[in-house]
Amino acid sequence: MDAVFEDALRRAIGGLRLPVGPEAVGRLTLFADRLLKWNRRVNLTAVTEPVELAEKHFADSLALLPHIGASRTILDIGSGAGLPGLALACVRPELQVTCCDSVGKKVAFVKAVAAELRLSVRGVAVRATGVPEADSLPRSDVVVSRAMADPDRWVPLGAKYLAECGRLYAMLGRGAEREALEAVGEQSGLELELLEQFALPISGAQRAIARWRPRGERRRAPRA
Ligand SMILES: C[S@@+](CC[C@H](N)C(=O)[O-])C[C@H]1O[C@@H](n2cnc3c(N)ncnc32)[C@H](O)[C@@H]1O
């Protein structure tokens, strides 16, 4: 992977004030290098321009870091080539991360990079159906999807995988409407706890992170 990617990644991480050390930048750069190499024979991503890849995929995925606190387990449903799950594990190797996707070749890629980096990331090739045991997917402290489905479809599905005191996240593009996110949460017994709208620092592209908690749970510093 070239220096252009690494420089853009550092700039984007700095602009978002994310806690990412030099060793993690090294792991993320290796991840990006393998992504572009695999992408020549297996279609994993449409974004191959280094600055765009660094900012719009990698740094954007890492925007979840300040929110996950002391959580120990993360389930990324529809992780594709490992975003955000594998990227988060590059920065927080102590996390137990499960990346799931219905496309086997994407999961094969995640498994190969996780093995090379010796990260505790489990790849599961399955179409998540909302039944954790049947899907062989763990209930987790953080259940997240990025660009996987509209909140209307994601929230009722993702809610089924929450561990006790867990938090459900959606990583969204522009156009996240608070009222709609509140309503979709209510239908699944959840309460919208956070909606953070932000701009990526290089392109100015708009992003949002939404977080729901089980309704009625006492407000506290979340584990997630
Ligand atoms: C647009 S891609 C996003 C990939 C990745 N999260 C990212 O941000 O680059 C959506 C992915 O979700 C996967 N997907 C959609 N529905 C799924 C389901 N029910 N279970 C598992 N994977 C699913 C698709 O196979 C696809 O790889």
For residue 208, the CA-to-ligand 1 centroid distance in Å is 18
The predicted pLDDT at position 216 comes to 83
Pocket test for ligand 1, best of 148, 154, 200 (most atoms within 8 A of CB): 148
Q: How far from each other are the two terminal CA atoms of the chain, in whole angstroms? A: 33
Pocket test for ligand 1, best of 31, 98, 101, 127 (most atoms within 8 A of CB): 101
**Tokens 């020549």 belong to which residue?**
40
Q: Please tell me whether the overall predicted TM-score, pTM, comes out greater than 0.90 for this model.
A: yes
Phi, psi values for residue 140, rounded to 5°: -135, 160
Residue 42, SS3 per DSSP: coil
The predicted pLDDT at position 224 comes to 47
Residue 151, SS3 per DSSP: helix
ipTM of the complex model:
0.99
Residues 6+ apart with CB under 8 A from 13: 20, 25, 59, 62
36 annotated as a binding-site residue: no
In the chain the domains, ranked by start, together with CATH numbers, are 3-214 (3.40.50.150)
174 annotated as a binding-site residue: no
Nearest to 77 by CA among 12, 20, 156: 156
The predicted pLDDT at position 2 comes to 79
**Which residue has the least CA distance to atom 11 on ligand 1?**
78
Residue-wise pLDDT for 145-202, tens only, equals 999 999 999 999 999 999 999 999 999 987 779 999 999 999 999 999 999 999 999 9
User: Residue 173 is encoded by which pair of tokens?
Assistant: 């593009």
Strands, E, within the chain: which ranges? 73-77, 96-101, 121-125, 140-146, 162-172, 190-199, 206-214
17 annotated as a binding-site residue: no
Residue 187 contacts residue 170 (beta carbons within 8 Å): no
Higher pLDDT, 220 or 123: 123
The predicted pLDDT at position 218 comes to 66
